[in-house]
Amino acid sequence: VGSGVNVSGTISSSSDDDWYYIDVTSPGNINISVAIGSSADLDWFLYHESNLSSWVARGYTVNNPEAGSYNATATGRYYLWVDGYNGATSGYTLSVSGGLAKFTNSGPEKSDRIIPEVFSLGQNYPNPFNPTTSIQVAVPEKALVTLEIYDITGRKIQTLLNDEQEPGVYTVSWDGTNQFGEKVSSGIYFYRMAAGKFIQTRRMMLLK
């Protein structure tokens, strides 16, 4: 695609997000800008293929456009995630430059699926949050995956995922409700992912 590309996209609902991948063949800056078509707050996160549970760069302020640059010392494939903060929706124009070898939309409707190398559980975003947060899970092989929420006493209050999943990276939202649909109180909560022999737990905070 040369040295730069511009694409248009839309985050149409609180459960909607967009993924892109960027192939980088030589070290250098990756320049990213998301111009938002409304007053909504859209954010982006950049990941390297070696670790899909931790971002290497992000644009998460209330600026329009959301712009940033990352010095890509590692070559290979980078994944860019565009999402609405607290369920925000809007159209946007994404601009990426910096000597890209390839730039492709890799959303779920595309044939190019994001296949991670290992199971991983990402830190929820936003954190602290109110009322909704997003959690990413990476599944390298077909497996039964569970994602559960626990309160600080260790009591399970919600099951977000309990299904056999194909390989891929998934974003799961939690709206701060328990298994009965009731809003839970402010405080610290834990979310736990289990898939085969893989088990990981992370902490998050709900503020009201």
Q: How do the pLDDT tens digits run along the chain, 208 residues long?
A: 345 678 888 888 877 888 888 888 888 888 999 999 888 888 899 988 888 778 899 898 778 888 998 998 888 888 888 988 877 889 999 988 875 655 665 543 333 456 778 898 988 988 899 988 989 888 889 999 999 999 999 999 999 999 999 888 888 889 999 999 999 999 999 999 999 999 999 999 999 8
Question: Which pLDDT value is given to residue 88?
Answer: 84
CA distance linking residue 29 with residue 100, whole number of Å: 10
The pTM assigned to this predicted structure is: 0.64
The letter for the amino acid at 41 is D
Question: Which pLDDT value is given to residue 109?
Answer: 34
Residue in this structure with the two tokens 């289990």, named with its chain if needed: 194
CA distance linking residue 83 with residue 98, whole number of Å: 22
DSSP-assigned letter for residue 167: S
Domains of the chain: 4-105 (2.60.120.380), 120-206 (2.60.40.1930)
CB burial of 133-158 (b: ≥16 within 10 Å; e: otherwise) equals: bbbbbbbbeebebebbbbbeeeeebb
CA-closest candidate to residue 145, choices 196, 188, 182:
196
